[in-house]
Amino acid sequence: MNLLHHWICRSAYWKRTIETELLPWALDGLTLGDEVLEIGPGYGLATNLLRSRVTRLTCVEVDGDLARSLSHRTARKNVRVVHADAAHLPLPDAIFSAALCFTMLHHVPSLPLQDRVLSEVARVLRPGGLFAGTDSSDGTLLRLFHIGDTLNAIDPRMFPQRLQAAGFTGVLVDRGPRAFRFRARRGPEPRGPVSAYENSSPTRPLGS
């Protein structure tokens, strides 16, 4: 991440955004279960909120410094931090009841690697396990924010098909003004709709 990105992602502003907009929007109506995976926690602002909602939380972070810092801050709590690449998760099959990621997938540098992350998440979820999260909508503001940084923006119109190809069913993608949320279940289960709903959220979460 560039310096601006580092500053924003640990700011009081971003903490308030996660607490009051992003997580309530992403997790509305969802039950996470007992074993939850968070992909790409970064500075752990969402982690601090999630750990009070779940029995056990495993966080996978590719940045070694961020992983060590988060591990230190969550020591002796119900959080395990794993320093690893989400495209190659060092975790057993079918152990999590839910997996979450927030404004993270656009940092994965290529489409094949993003799809690999989706497949790895499906692998470590139990059958019927939940995958949910948010990501940023492409646009001028997002691109300016990522000057000198990795940006591989996701097209929410194509994301349902990509999730389905990775092994998910019952896919829903819901588009807000500047971000989109998604939710899906790891198959096998009765196949649900694959659809996208545009501009249906009243909130205005800011993607990072």
Which tokens is 38 given?
Answer: 């968070």
CATH assignment of the domain containing 49: 3.40.50.150
Domain assignment present for 50: yes
Structural domain total, the chain: 1
Residue 192 has a pLDDT of 43
Residue 65: count of CB within 10 angstroms of its CB: 9
Domain contains 203: no
Q: Report if residue 204 sits inside a domain.
A: no
202: in domain: no
Q: CA 192 → CA 90, 156, 169, distances in Å?
A: 30, 18, 6
Range of the domain at 125: 3-197
In a domain, 10, yes or no: yes
3-state SS string for 148-203: CCCCCCCCCCCHHHHHHHCCEEEEEEEECCCEEEEEEEECCCCCCCCEEECCCCCC
The per-residue pLDDT for range 31-55, each reduced to its tens digit, is 999 999 999 999 899 999 999 999 9
Place of tokens 């992909």: 39
User: What pLDDT does residue 178 have?
Assistant: 81
Share of the chain above pLDDT 90, in %: 65
Residue 101 lies in a domain: yes
Helix (H, G, I), strand (E, B) or coil at 100: strand
Does residue 207 fall inside a structural domain?
no
pTM: 0.84
- H-type helices in the chain, by residue range? 3-9, 12-17, 23-27, 45-50, 64-73, 111-124, 140-145, 159-165
Q: Is the peptide bond before 188 cis (omega within 30 degrees of 0)?
A: yes
In a domain, residue 173? The reply is yes
pLDDT in tens, 150-201: 777 899 999 999 999 999 999 999 988 788 999 999 987 544 444 444 444 4
Hey, CA dihedral for 8, 84, 107, 132, is it positive or negative?
A: negative
> What's the pLDDT at 132?
98
pLDDT at 5: 58
Supply the DSSP symbol for 101: E
What 3-state DSSP class applies to 75?
coil
Q: Rounded to whole angstroms, how far apart are CA atoms 167 and 118?
A: 9
Residue type for position 160: P
